[in-house]
Structure 1
Amino acid sequence: MRIDRALVNDAALAVVAAAVCVVMFVYSQTAQLKAPDVFGGVLVVLGCAPVAVRRRWPLAAFCAGLVPESLLAVMGYGSGQVGLGGLILVYSVAAYRGLAVALGALLLTMVAYAAGASFGEALESPSKHLVVLLLVVAVWGAGRSFRLRRAYLDELKDRAARLERAHAADTRAARAEERSRIARELHDVVAHHVSVMTVQAAAARKVLASDPDLAREALSAIEQTGRMAMTEMRNIVGVLRTDSPAELGPQPGMLDLPRLVEQMREAGLPTRLEIEGEPSPIPAGVDLAAYRLIQEGLTNSLRHAGPGAKAVVTVRHAVRELDVRVEDDGPGTATLSGRQGHGLVGIRERVALYGGVLSIGPRSGGGFEVRARFPLKDGQ
């Protein structure tokens, strides 16, 4: 069974307050007041008893304590006989209830004290009554200050919790974006090189018996392509390994296009590279995105354009734009649905990331085209 520590502490406080008030009731009476007796002592104890539930029901406890105190004043025992208990209850209402309720309790306390004083102590000592009223106001103010401070601390905790949740959400989003980026890179590398290796392996199998030298060249090309794939994958996966920075290498870019075109030629896709305009420095992100687009476009043509198809890679450098295009003369319309794979979806994400415009689809004269235009800032 769980024990409510707040209730236990308040019960102990009620016992202490009752003991103090009974002692003051017995030894502080004057000739103008009724002599202390058992009934008066019981009323004093009853006036302090509600302190035991001051935090659970502060307003009810305050009202319950006000009744015995008023009876003590009316019956001639004097006002303020449960002073300590009454102050605790006033403080509790101010600390645990709203401003309107707290102000009502303060006003009711002053009215009750003033009414009780009129039954025998009105002419005794006006300064004493003023001190009591100032003490009540001070205790009430302390309760309000406690409430405001607690509300401020609760707001700080709530704000810290919201910031922590926002930070966790940002972290999850960053991790998801990083996983997506790595997935795109791995797909582009694996899909391209495996497609090239598959075509070369098929060619080697066809000429293995009739032309062993040509088959041997195809196998060598497969080995070289596999090594390139492993190197690029090692560079990509290296970003996940913080303990081996030496394994990180530069990402491919537009300067690597001649080697990519040559690789596609060796794989059996006649490819031509055309450069228009004066080459200028390109941001690293755009450089990689454009290279991956061309790589995916050529891989797409190698897999779907069909035998005898040719591909053309066009790179046009403008003042504020980089235009890249991959075209082939294969049956683009017939295989359009088959060409819209995960690689082209990844290309859409890459181009959109850098504010580019992407168009993918069959050409009017036959074949298939993948084209993107990347905006560049001045001086790039």
Structure 2
Amino acid sequence: MPPATAPAAPAATSRRDRVLAVVNRDPMLAPHRTRNDALTAAGAAALAAALALSTGDAGTLGAAGWALLLGSAVPLAWRRRAPVWILCAMVPLLAVYHGTQDLHSAPMPQTWIVLYTVAVTGRPLRTLLVGVGVTSVMVTVVLALSAHDVLELLRISGWIVAVLLCGVDVRIYRQYVASVLERAERAERTREEEAARRVAEERLRIARDLHDLLAHSITVIGVRTSVASHILTVDPDRLDRRAVAAALDDIADTCREARAELRTTLQVLRGSGQEAGGAEAEGPLPDLAALPGLVRAAEAAGARVELDTTGVPAGRLAPAVGAAAYRIVQESLTNAVRHAGAGARVRVLVAPAAGALRVSVTDDGTGPVEDGTAPGFGIVGMRERARSTGGTLTAGPRPGGGFEVSALLPLPPAPPGNRADEPGTYAREHPTAREAETTP
């Protein structure tokens, strides 16, 4: 059974935290300043009276002496409102008291409190000027009383300097604590902003991946479904069962491919083990080797696609660059199938160009149609993908008709002996890619 005193530790810690909070906070911003200062003034007056009575010579003060002694503590009730003015109000009272009375130690409590308040609430220059002024007044009073009382002069001067240095030291300590807390709060805000930025980037990346995946598959399914519906409704008496079966088979294949890619994406997101906003999760990324599959899907939807990957150095492509190129081609083909019209000719060119990988997709159709009510995110997503690799992308109608998407993605320098104009290993390793004329 734990000892009865075990729960006292949290309470002691709480009390210590409260004491530190009181010590560290700015006295000018503390709550209940007027009430606390009034209590401080009353306590200083009581302590001064106790010091006077403890000497045994309190009877020599008289009514005027007691009035000066206790009245000099009254301004302390407003010490934090205007510390310097309160000091100026107290100096004449204390000067008259010391000039007419012999109990010089009695008014020390209010004297040290007001000097400490001036030092702890003001700049060092103000504290220095106040110290010089108070010391001058004190020297004048002491020398007027006794020109030979050097020890008393040194004692009082030492106390004045000690109290002022204590106030300056506390002020510097509080400034240091405030700066540490401010830096900690700033660092915490920075961490929160960074976490929010990473979460936003991760959400954008997931949305972009899902858009690229689903938009393409749904577009192909929609086109093939329209073909099957057309065959079934235009001339039911001459039903082309083979064409309907081919269209349905294409729909089924597209659904299986989309489901497999979506499952892979979800597995990567679930199994990455990284918090949202981190680097892109490692996993299988699509690359240029999968372009022929995109071409076949677009052709199944009715487009005529020409693919040219001559000179692409597949071994030099970073995974992110290859994935970006694949997604740009995928989205461009999706837009062409959706907007360019039936039988549109589409040309896909992927080739190195001046230290970069050029990705160009052009069609001779009417181009994307903006209805003004539901703008898509395809072109925006392609630009974001290009920027994520350090590249650029432009998209817009062609002067002679049709639409063009052109991207430049960064490409590492070619190793010695490998010329950019020589046939790349990609074209040799993927014979299904159809070469076209070298000029775009």
TM-score range (shorter-chain normalised) is 0.7 to 0.9
Alignment-derived partner of residue 264 in structure 1: 298
Report the Cα distance in structure 1 between the residues aligned to 2:394 and 2:142, rounded to whole angstroms. Answer: 92
Residue 183 in 1 paired to residue 183 in 2? no
Deviation larger for 73-82 or 193-202: 73-82
Distance 1:100 1:365, change over 3 A: closer
1:286 aligned counterpart, secondary structure: helix
Deviation larger for 277-286 or 134-143: 277-286
Residue 104 in 1 paired to residue 133 in 2? no
The TM-score normalised by the length of structure 1 is: 0.86
Report the Cα distance in structure 2 between the residues aligned to 1:168 and 1:248, rounded to whole angstroms. Answer: 25
Q: Which amino acid aligns with 2:341?
A: G
- The alpha carbon displacement at 1:200 in A equals 0.4
**1:5-50 C-alpha deviation (Å, 9 max, x unpaired):** 55444444433332332233345488xx992223312221112233
- The alpha carbon displacement at 1:163 in A equals 2.5
Spell out the pairing of 1:289-368 with structure 2 (5 A cutoff): 289-317=324-352, 320-332=355-367, 341-363=376-398, 366-368=401-403
Alignment-derived partner of residue 214 in structure 1: 243
Alignment-derived partner of residue 157 in structure 1: 181
Question: Does the 8 Å contact 1:10/1:54 carry over to 2?
Answer: yes
Alignment-derived partner of residue 314 in structure 2: 280
Report the Cα distance in structure 2 between the residues aligned to 1:58 and 1:350, rounded to whole angstroms. Answer: 63
Spell out the pairing of 1:137-156 with structure 2 (5 A cutoff): 137-156=161-180
Provide the aligned C-alpha RMSD in A.
3.1
Alignment-derived partner of residue 159 in structure 2: 135
Question: Does the 8 Å contact 1:357/1:374 carry over to 2?
Answer: yes
Alignment-derived partner of residue 41 in structure 1: 66
Report the Cα distance in structure 2 between the residues aligned to 1:12 and 1:285, rounded to whole angstroms. Answer: 71
Q: Which amino acid aligns with 1:260?
A: L
Alignment-derived partner of residue 21 in structure 2: none
Report the Cα distance in structure 1 between the residues aligned to 2:361 and 2:414, rounded to whole angstroms. Answer: 26
Distance 1:115 1:249, change over 3 A: closer
1:118 aligned counterpart, secondary structure: helix
Residue 87 in 1 paired to residue 121 in 2? no
Report the Cα distance in structure 1 between the residues aligned to 2:44 and 2:350, rounded to whole angstroms. Answer: 90
Question: Does the 8 Å contact 2:286/2:323 carry over to 1?
Answer: yes
| Gaps in structure 1 of 5+ consecutive residues | none
Distance 1:311 1:223, change over 3 A: same
Question: Does the 8 Å contact 2:358/2:409 carry over to 1?
Answer: yes
Residue 19 in 1 paired to residue 19 in 2? no
Question: Does the 8 Å contact 1:72/1:81 carry over to 2?
Answer: no
**Aligned residue-pair number:** 372
Distance 1:237 1:122, change over 3 A: farther
Question: Does the 8 Å contact 1:321/1:373 carry over to 2?
Answer: yes
- The alpha carbon displacement at 1:58 in A equals 2.0
Question: Does the 8 Å contact 2:287/2:325 carry over to 1?
Answer: yes
Alignment-derived partner of residue 250 in structure 1: 284
Question: Does the 8 Å contact 1:313/1:327 carry over to 2?
Answer: yes
Question: Does the 8 Å contact 1:92/1:143 carry over to 2?
Answer: yes
Distance 1:99 1:40, change over 3 A: same
Report the Cα distance in structure 2 between the residues aligned to 1:15 and 1:66, rounded to whole angstroms. Answer: 18
Q: Give aligned-pair identity as a percent.
A: 34
1:327 aligned counterpart, secondary structure: strand
**The one of 160, 166, 180 aligned to 2:190:** 166
Q: Which amino acid aligns with 2:50?
A: V
**1:302-334 C-alpha deviation (Å, 9 max, x unpaired):** 1122222222322224683212222333345xx
- The alpha carbon displacement at 1:230 in A equals 2.9
1:100 aligned counterpart, secondary structure: helix
**1:220-279 C-alpha deviation (Å, 9 max, x unpaired):** 22122123223333444455546889x985222111111111122222223232221153
Distance 1:244 1:225, change over 3 A: farther
Question: Does the 8 Å contact 1:270/1:311 carry over to 2?
Answer: yes
Distance 1:84 1:359, change over 3 A: closer
**1:133-176 C-alpha deviation (Å, 9 max, x unpaired):** 01110110111111112122222222222222233222222222
Question: Does the 8 Å contact 1:254/1:287 carry over to 2?
Answer: yes
| Gaps in structure 2 of 5+ consecutive residues | 1-29, 275-280, 416-440
Q: Which has the higher contact order (CA 8 A, sep 6+)?
A: 2
